[in-house]
Each structure stands twice: as structure tokens, then as C-alpha cells.
Structure 1
Amino acid sequence: MDTRKIRIGIAVIVGLVVIFFVVKQFIPNKTTKTNQAHVKPDEKKAELPVRQVAQLLHQACQYADSIGIDTTRYGSDSEVSESKLTNVLLEIRYGKKPSRMVFTGLHEKVDSAWAMKADPTTLATISSFAPYNQLVGYYSQLQKQGRTNPAMADSLRLIRQTLNFYRYINRFDPDQFVLVNIPAGELNVFDRTGKRLLPMQVIAGKPDKRTPCMATYIQDIVMYPYWNVPRNIALEEMLPRMKRNLAYIYNQNLQILDEKNHEVDPEDIDWDGMSTTNFPYRVRQASGCENSLGLLKFNLANPLAIYLHDTNSRDLFTTTNDRWRSHGCVRVQKPVELANLVLGAKTFDAEFMNKCLIDQKPRTLPIPKPFPVFIVYNTADIDADGKLRFYKDVYSLDK
């Protein structure tokens, strides 16, 4: 009887153990299946935006490539992210800061939120600036030719630089702006559609006295300016002439100023003791028709002492094609017209340049608001007739 009870007890225990392991294995399997049933729809939802981002990034990169943007850094690896999409869209609209831009005095207005809602299929419509759109058209044509003609690579590179610059202008959203292109020897005032409001020739820095590239603005305009001669010019070019003959000082209408800014009589200076290392004076050219800055000076915000100005050698615009002969500042062909445009009113008439008023002191004219100025070095660009032009690489920067 006891043996029978023991056997029954053992059977019950074994049965309970079997049931325990069956239930233990069944419950996790059921839970796993249940979890899988819930996870799969969520996973599909998570995968959908990634696929959308990948598709949008592909579309954006295709367009970016067609307008001269290097897209390898956006699509070369397997990682797809919204930040990549945002970055390529922002570069399409705002470009990158040109490598030759040594000074930027303008405040950027980059709308980063725009990229979150931009439609990559409509990117071709975001720019209304005519020269940019025309240049994109030429780039597309040459890009197709470049597939069979490797010689096109250099032209495409130069166009890409200019296209990036035009995109860079969008960071500042100007209604009107001055654009000085050094290789072209030209100044244009553009509106936001790309209309040329005031084209003219300029004379920029010679190859050994290069005009620097910058994004800045006109602060004010000076009538009858002094020319405060840069010290290197005073020492290297003027001092030897002054030492040889004091008449040079009077003929050039120069003034010698001491450290307190008081004018010194040239006859009282011991010129034999003056040298490039011992010259405790500064040189200034008096205002007037013979002043090297002419009758109008356009002060630009920058730490490099670069500005736009009239010239007392206006015949250079008609007697020579050499547009690169200054010490770095930019001489403009139509100073009166530029001043009137910047001031927003006809302040000067056509006769202003022909009047040679005596004993005039500099007078500063405030302008309604800072007027953006871009000084650039674009050897490929669109001319006034909408044609693609390649200009002389006067500073040998594009070799």
C-alpha cells in the first residue's frame, strides 16, 4: 500500500514538472509572437521616413550636382540622415563662404528652417537672380560636353566658383548691391533679380598690390577727400622724391603732418637725416581736383583700408585697357552716378566733376542705410549680354 502511494506521488510530481516546463516554454513563445505582432507595424513606420529622407536626399544631390556642388560628402557613405539633407539644401540656397573672401562685414540671414520644409523637386525655382540662372544653363551645357571632352574640366571648375559666390550672396538677402569683379575690371550695381542698374569700369590693384576680396558695405561718402597716404607708399615711393627735390611736395599738393596731426613746413625738416627707418611724419594729399582720390570717396567697412573712389586720372578709362594698376583700392568710372544711387537722391549733377572748387575741406555725407559691396575674383561670369565670359587671371589665382 505504501509502495503504491509512493509511486502515485512520484507520478504526480513528474507530471507537475512536465506541465511546468511546457507552460514555461509556451508563455515566452506566445509573448514573443505577440510582441512581434506589435513591433512589425512600428518598425514599418520607422523605416518609412528613412526611405523618404533617402529619396529626398538623392533628389537634392542630383540637383546640387547639376549646379556645380560637390555632393560626394552628402551621398558617399551609407548613413542617411535629415541633417545631411538639411546641409545639402542649405548649400543649394546659400552656398559656402568663398575661400578668397578675406573679410566679411555683412550680417548673414540664413533661414535654416527653410530646409525643413523645402521640396527638392522645386529647387530650380528658388533663385530669381538672372546671371546665376544663365550661368547654371551654361554649366549644364559644358557638363554634358565634359563627359566626352576632358578639356572642359577647367572651365567647369571656374564656373563652379562663380556659381557658389552667387549662392553665397543669398546669405545677406540684399535688395541692391555693388559687385566689383577684379578680373573683369568691372563694377555693377544689381537688384535682387539680377538687373544691372549701373555698370561701369574700375581700376583695381596691380598684381603685386592686389585688391582683396571682401563682403562689406558703404558706410558713407566723402566729398573732396584727403588722401592719407599709406605709410609704405610714403616711405618707398614718396620719400626718395621728396629728399631729391622739395618741389615734388608742392607739385603734388602734399602735406607733412607730425604725430599731433599738425602740418609741418617742409623747409624745417632735416631731409638728409630722413630714411625709411627714421621718418616721424605722415603724408597727406590735400583735397581738390588733383587729389589721387578725386572728388568722391566711398568708405567701406573693413580693417584693410580699402575703399572705392574717384580719380584724378579719369582718362585711364579711355586711353588704356589696363584695369589693374592701383595700390589696392578701387577707382570707379562713374562716381557721381554711384553716389546718387547709394544716397537715393540726385545729390550731384553732371557738372560736379568739372568744377574745381578751391580750398574745399572734406565733407562726409551719411547714406540712408549701409549699401552692400562684394569685391570678388571671378574669372568666369556672365556679361551684360547674358554671354559666358572667361576673364584674364590677372593675379594668377586660378591656375
Structure 2
Amino acid sequence: MDNLDKRRIGIGVAVVASLVLLFFVGKWFIKQKATKKEQAKVEQTRQQAEKKAKQALVTLHSVCRYADSVGIDTTRFGTKAGLDQAETEEKLADLLLEIRYGKKPSRLEFSGLKEAVDSSWTQNVYEASKPTALVKLAPFGPYNQLVGHYSRLRKLARSNPALADSLRLIRQTLNFYRYVNRFDADRFVLVNIPAGELNVFGRAGERLLPMQVIAGKPDKRTPCMTTYVQDIVAYPYWNVPQNIALDEMLPRMKRNIAFIYNQNLQILNDKNQEIDPEEIDWDSLSTTNFPYRVRQASGCENSLGLLKFDLANPLAIYLHDTNSRDLFTQTADRWRSHGCVRVQKPVELANLILGSQTFDAAFMTKCLVDQKPRTLSIPKPFPVFIAYNIADVDATGKLRFYKDVYALDK
């Protein structure tokens, strides 16, 4: 092979080697470019996620400030290092739900109303977190008045630590009003035990029918509950609770059978048949041996008065008229019943719940004799809240602190 051929082969090998090298170098450059592009994309995604996480955090802090201003404990919604956008938004949604619906009050002994919590509006937490949206969550007048008092006292509390207890009591009531939002009622009855008051509220917080009530005495407490009026009974019987029949009535009946007639009582057997008191061997009876039920006949002297409002609950608690209406004017003691709630304006309350003027003012004075109980159906169940709010606003919007009659706040 001559030199020319060797040169040609060398050149060919060099060209091939160059092409191979160029191929791998090109491939490396392409890969590097793709890697840089992917890294740039990842960095952009990271920056966007970081920006959104910061936005979520800023929004959460802003809503926490608002929640704090309306008496919500926001320590449960604090953030920690490493919390991502989704976790922050979840906290934000939970906080928004509490702002709107509150927490279940700890003193409720019975919950008989079905909750209607709409969580769909928190799907866009940023839209729901706008100040204008937050304000719309609180259309109830007394709630907003109470928020105003809370804000005022918080400023004063900076120089007067003794106000801390008052603020705590206001927070409890603010939470109660938020909790009421879970039931979406156009109208509802609110009995506030410490105030000795009943109000029928409209959706915006207008007081449609305020009145006084007589609730349970301290050793016979009226329980807090959410329930509803099932029906209204005119000329009701009073089916005497067994503990009252045994502890209070039986000793008096044994001492003097005339007590039965004076109180217009009826003795019923296990078949619901009335028994002649003269035929009963009273000496053989005791608190552990009393095979009867005691009922008070209907009429003006009935302890339930002329109207009874049946409430759905297993505790035998209801609203009713009373045969001692003078108690509303002759004494300030509003806590003297066995647990049920005596109402000052039974006719007005019945007509409002029934949605018609079913009873006139003369109904309370006619007092017809030999009347049997008559049950009146209502258009739809009427919500009733029996609450224990020591701090509240009155009809004028003035802040009130009522006596802790059951000593529940100690």
C-alpha cells in the first residue's frame, strides 16, 4: 500500500472519528439543554408553589386576625415550618367554617335539630376569605352588636386585666350565635336561662316576640338543648313526673286524701284507667311501691295552664302556660320550676308558631270547664334553642351580664 492510500485511510478514519465525536458531543449538548430546561421548569414550579404557599399563609393570617376580632381562639390554626399550600388551605377552610358555624356548645344536653352545614362555599378559600365575604357571614343583628362590645372591651382590657372574665363570657355567647347558623331557620325561639327571657328571632335578629319566662330552679335545672315545637295542646293534662309524684305528692296524699281533690288530680292504673282514690289502700303505698300514675285534669288550675308547647326531647321538657301568672309581676325570681319553661305570653307565642290568630286574648280568661286536651298541628317544626348565655345584648343593644343562677361558670 503506497503512502497515498495510507493518507486516504487516515483521513477517512479521522472523519469518522470526528463524526462520532460530533454525534456524542451533540447528544451531550442536547441532553444538557433538556436538563437545564427541565431544571428551569422544576424551579419555576417550585417558585410558583412557594408563591402560592405564601399567598395561602398570608390569607390564613388575615382571616385569623378577623376570627380573633370576633372571639375565636385561633391558636388551633397556627402554622409551622414546612406547611405546604394544601395543608394551609385546609386550615383556612376549617377556620372559615368555624367563623360561620361556630363549635357545638359544651352545655348542650340534647341536640334535636338537624344541622345544615354548607361547606361547598369554602372550596374557593380565597374568594370566601375576602373581607366583604366574611362580613356577609354574620347577618344576625345581636351577634354584630355583641362583637362591637367585645371589640370595645378588648381595648379596655389592655389596661384592665379584670375584664378578661367578661371577654370570656362574651366569647361563649358569640360562639352560640355562630352555632345557630347551622340550622338555617327563618324564625326560632331562644330561651336564655340566666336572663329569664324568651325571644322569637327572625333571620336577621329582629325580636318578634320578647317575653319573660320561669325556668328550673337551681336544684331542678332546665337543660340546654336544640329542639323544636312538635305541636301545641290546648287545655293539656299535666302528667306528673314520677319523681314529683313520689317525692312531693305521695306524702301529702297519704296524710290527707283531700289533697287529690283540691289539686284536681287523677290516679291512673297501668292501663291508663282512672282509679277512685277512696278505694286505694294508701297505707300500703311507698316510694318503692306505687303502681299508679298521677295526672292533673285540664282547666284553669292545671299547672301547665291552658297551653302547652310540646318539644321533641327525651328529657320531658316543654314550654307551657301557668296557673300562677301573677309570678311574672309579683316577683323577680325567674328560676322556680321543676325544669320546664313557663312562658309569659302563651297566646301570642301559639299564634305566631301556628301562623294564624287561632287564639284571641279572651282565651286566657274564659277558662271553659270540662275541656279535654286538644292538639293543634303546626305548619312545620318550629326550632327552639334553650341556652345558658350569661353575657348578651338586650333589645336596645346594651351589653348585659346576667346572674350565673346555676353556678355553671365556677
CA distance in 2, matches of 1:219, 1:48: 54
CA distance in 1, matches of 2:93, 2:46: 24
Contact 1:59–1:120, Cα closer than 8 Å, also in 2 = no
Match of 1:376 in 2: 387
Say whether residues 1:74 and 2:81 are aligned partners.
Answer: no
CA distance in 2, matches of 1:47, 1:72: 24
Q: Which amino acid aligns with 2:371?
A: Q
Identity percentage over the alignment? 74
**What is the CA distance between 1:23 and its match in structure 2?**
8.9
**Counterpart secondary structure, 2:182:** coil
- The correspondence of residues 7-46 of structure 1 with structure 2, limited to 5 A, is 30-46=33-49
CA distance in 2, matches of 1:235, 1:260: 19
Say whether residues 1:92 and 2:95 are aligned partners.
Answer: no
Match of 2:223 in 1: 212
Contact 2:238–2:298, Cα closer than 8 Å, also in 1 = yes
**What is the CA distance between 1:76 and its match in structure 2?**
4.6
**Counterpart secondary structure, 1:203:** strand
**Counterpart secondary structure, 2:384:** strand
Match of 2:306 in 1: 295
Q: Which amino acid aligns with 2:102?
A: G
Contact 2:96–2:129, Cα closer than 8 Å, also in 1 = no
CA distance in 2, matches of 1:72, 1:86: 15
Contact 1:135–1:163, Cα closer than 8 Å, also in 2 = yes
Contact 1:59–1:121, Cα closer than 8 Å, also in 2 = no
Identify the range of structure 1 (256-265 vs 36-45) with the bigger mean alpha-carbon deviation: 36-45
Match of 2:237 in 1: 226
CA distance in 2, matches of 1:76, 1:27: 43
Q: Structure 2 stretches of 5 or more lacking a match? A: 1-9
Match of 2:112 in 1: 105
Contact 2:253–2:259, Cα closer than 8 Å, also in 1 = yes
* RMSD between superposed Cα atoms in Å: 2.2
Match of 2:176 in 1: 165
**What is the CA distance between 1:26 and its match in structure 2?**
6.8
Match of 1:114 in 2: 121
Say whether residues 1:346 and 2:330 are aligned partners.
Answer: no
**What is the CA distance between 1:333 and its match in structure 2?**
0.3
Q: Report Cα offsets for 1:51-83 as digits up to 9, x if no partner.
A: 221121111111000000000010153435211
Q: TM-score, normalised by structure 1?
A: 0.93
Q: Report Cα offsets for 1:113-136 as digits up to 9, x if no partner.
A: 112341332212322211100000
Identify the range of structure 1 (23-32 vs 356-365) with the bigger mean alpha-carbon deviation: 23-32
Say whether residues 1:50 and 2:53 are aligned partners.
Answer: yes
**Counterpart secondary structure, 2:253:** helix
After the TM superposition, which segments of 4 or more aligned residues of structure 1 sit over 4 Å from their partners? 18-31
**What is the CA distance between 1:25 and its match in structure 2?**
8.0
Contact 1:127–1:133, Cα closer than 8 Å, also in 2 = yes
**What is the CA distance between 1:27 and its match in structure 2?**
7.2
Q: Report Cα offsets for 1:166-208 as digits up to 9, x if no partner.
A: 1111111111111100000000111011111111000000001
Match of 1:4 in 2: none
**What is the CA distance between 1:145 and its match in structure 2?**
1.3
Identify the range of structure 1 (197-206 vs 78-87) with the bigger mean alpha-carbon deviation: 78-87
Match of 2:5 in 1: none
Q: Which amino acid aligns with 1:39?
A: V
Q: Report Cα offsets for 1:355-396 as digits up to 9, x if no partner.
A: 121110000000111111110000000001110000000000
Q: Report Cα offsets for 1:228-285 as digits up to 9, x if no partner.
A: 0000000000000000000000000000000000111111111111000000001000
Match of 1:200 in 2: 211
Q: Which amino acid aligns with 2:46?
A: E
CA distance in 1, matches of 2:264, 2:98: 51
Identify the range of structure 1 (132-141 vs 101-110) with the bigger mean alpha-carbon deviation: 101-110
